[in-house]
Amino acid sequence: MPTPHYGQPRYRVIADELKKRIEGGVIPAGSLLPSESALCAEFQAARGTIRKAIAVLRNASLVATEHGRGTYANLQPGGGQTDEDLESETLQRQVLADIELAALFDVDVGAVLIEQQLVDRRNGAVSRVVRTYRSLRSNG
Amino acid sequence: MPTPHYGQPRYRVIADELKKRIEGGVIPAGSLLPSESALCAEFQAARGTIRKAIAVLRNASLVATEHGRGTYANLQPGGGQTDEDLESETLQRQVLADIELAALFDVDVGAVLIEQQLVDRRNGAVSRVVRTYRSLRSNG
DNA sequence: AGAAATTTGTCCGTATGTATC
DNA sequence: AGATACATACGGACAAATTTC
């Protein structure tokens, strides 16, 4: 099989599945996740893909990895009962200035602006979308 | 060459080198970095290694990557001097969800969203516009 | 409008190095 | 010392977004 990845990339699907297991208690907090090779076997994925999935969870502070030991399901640092699972992803792209933005930046309508978009997810659902616009030649 | 990585791993060395070039102005802020394949040739490294180096810079907000375009040197690593005159104003309003926001918030296109807009001015000129969107029923 | 080239994104398989048990 | 597990690195292939012709 070559590489079919329409829709969500595989590493993100795997990350979501692991997240469910951690939140659902299938993988108790503080315990070790299955080893990378075990996850490779289960999900029929390459190690790089598994590692990337784990990197997503690590980035979300859901797990912590120790060299030579393994990856632990997260024990919440806040002390509290923070059952919240925050996630965020960013992307940057070029967009065309609408009338309002053009007036603000003092450029022509349709001029190129840089947009950075941040999407915050809370327990899976999008809670906030932040779009930051900058002019090309403004050193913010 | 097998894979010796005593001391610093290769991707980190490459990341440091690129960082020097950006901060030193060899790669001007806002301009494109060399393509991944070009960097592969220059550093004699595999693409995955180059991509990992760039990921380090992206994580440090030193660069931003756009699919199909390239990786841009970032404009704003936060220069030191602060003798500038900053202003900001905010406003809140209701807007209608476009296709992308509708998909993100899982609502219908045209549904009402809350938008908060922040306009930063620097010495009079708009340097940044931040638009934050929330759903009405968002438990934010 | 459309095809080709460029560039980044994802995924695979493998090999080797390093840390821990 | 040996086994296990994560870390780094290579090379190849195809997908998707953008630019160029």
For residue A104, say whether its CB is under 7 Å from any atom of strand C: no
**What average pLDDT score do residues B9-20 get?**
96
Query: Which chain B residues contact residue A130 at CB under 8 A?
Result: 130-133
User: Residue A122's pLDDT is what?
Assistant: 81
**pTM for this one?**
0.81
For residue A14, say whether its CB is under 7 Å from any atom of strand C: no
Residue A97 has pLDDT above 70, yes or no: yes
Q: Using the CB atoms, write b or e for A76-97: b if 16+ within 10 Å.
A: eeeeeeeeebebeeeebeeeeb
For residue A36, say whether its CB is under 7 Å from any atom of strand D: yes
Report the residue from B72, B120, B134 with minimal CB separation from A128.
Answer: B134
User: Residue A89's pLDDT is what?
Assistant: 80
B43 inside 8 A of chain A by CB? no
CA B133/CA A124 separation, integer angstroms: 17
For residue A70, say whether its CB is under 7 Å from any atom of strand D: yes
Q: Which residue has the higher pLDDT, A94 or B69?
A: B69
B129 inside 8 A of chain A by CB? yes
User: Residue A140's pLDDT is what?
Assistant: 44
Q: Which residue has the higher pLDDT, A121 or A49?
A: A49
Q: What is chain B's mean pLDDT, rounded?
A: 87
B120 inside 8 A of chain A by CB? yes
User: Which of B44-58, B60-74, B94-108 is predicted with the least confidence, judged by mean pLDDT?
Assistant: B94-108
**What average pLDDT score do residues A98-110 get?**
90
CB pairs under 8 A between A and B: 81
Instruction: Indicate yes or no: CB of B131 within 8 angstroms of CB of A127.
Output: no
pLDDT tens track for A6-58:
568 999 999 999 999 998 999 999 899 999 999 999 999 999 999 999 999 99
Residue B78 has pLDDT above 70, yes or no: no
- Give the DSSP letter string of chain A: ------SS-HHHHHHHHHHHHHHHTSS-TTSBPPPHHHHHHHHT--HHHHHHHHHHHHHTTSEEEETTTEEEEP--TTSS-----EEEEEEEEEEE--HHHHHHHT--TT-EEEEEEEEEEETTEEEEEEEEEEETT---
Closest-CA distance, B138 to chain A, in angstroms, reads 6
B134 inside 8 A of chain A by CB? yes
A129 inside 8 A of chain B by CB? yes
User: Residue B3's pLDDT is what?
Assistant: 57
Confidence class for position B53, pLDDT limits 50, 70, 90: very high
